[in-house]
Chains A and B, each alone.
Chain A
């Protein structure tokens, strides 16, 4: 059953065998998919970038070789060629950009770029006033600001290089147009083109700028933090922090993985629970939610709207309120234990949230309780969408309700909701709310490093590393690893899901 088989052989298999064959092949294919991702997709991406840069080089080379004096002066003075060719708007914009850049580097960016290699040298000073005995303080370098402005400056330099290239390209094209005896576009025409053939630039300009400033640069900043020793002992503005290379990564990967209380061991254990949790949380909600929806949808069930309303009512209560309430009720002195004890069913409180294994079970159960209404709502719509004639013909052919479920309902649902399942899975990998509000990662244990508890997910551990332990560098490493895991898992599973492969099915 683990070998690739021909289509004919496949058709000979029984239903269950077909399913398990597909199941096995999916997981057998995963390593190859991972391999492809790293050996094909990623190199391909870099190759594309390289091609773009090569294209730039060719343009610049051509301009240097065949350009007239106006074009060549543009190599140094931005917009000179455009101004000389009376393209006033373009010329001025390029020139102003260059002047701004020079001004910025001279007044501001240069000093930060100079300190970028060391992230600051001058420590904050302390001087006693000989007369009053009061201590006064002199400001030192702020490593955090140096890192931040250093990155911004580098980003600005990249923009500058790009503008330089565009400036040369634009003047070279202008020169070619002139040589061909055609007329150049005026400022008015340039502006008008932004609403016509260049309209995509107008539309995408603002979102792109927003994305760069609010998402990409913070991510780059965060990645850089992983290579510093920014922690409680090196807290700016009073203390300096500096580059430490791959040391943080070595603590996670190089450490003793089998032993106790090392970051490597903790990371492995927390990751294991994170994946387990995501799996159970996603599929328990999905399947049970679907079952509830099917039950309510069934012909002959009365008060359909009432049942749906009752279930949806739980959504009306904010999730964090339900979670906090649950955490109270499940506590050692909580309502559940109190009731069970007063009934005489138990002698001592059940450690719902304080015993490692029981806490994990409780979390998944509470999550089911919170999550089912959402899945039910979503699947109700899709279930109603399945053509009734499919079921009818199945019935005529003698299929029972169970067979109809596995042959019609489930494949249809899986096909339609695969992307939803993947988002759910990824969302659950990073499900901060449920864990943090229910157990806060408890029970803590001496087996783990970095204040991690038995029910901590990577994301809640990350929160602890930042808020309690102030290990910013280490936290950054963990978040990079989380990003890699979630990105790779979602890309690969999504690309292999049937909704992407057989997009036209069930249309």
Chain B
């Protein structure tokens, strides 16, 4: 009889219990200038979701912003259609720029957002 070799595929997933923080997902758009020649930026809150957070590096902070542009924070969330790097994350009043979005095994179940922390959302420099 022929032997069957079962091909084991990796099926990574996150425990729902590890989603222990609430984060805000928001989109960014430019705002036409009213009194100056500079375009402004405006965030629109899209949704608030449960997330898990893993830090992978430290910060290189100058004044109120992070100078390092590498991934230092990884957020794990439930996948939702339309999630792209155009989104920004707000957590504990800080802005996080999503550099990459990984749709885990393309199953549309879990998303990993690789982020660069910008800094306090109240500082305009951290919106860029």
**Is chain B found bound to chain A in the same assembly?**
no
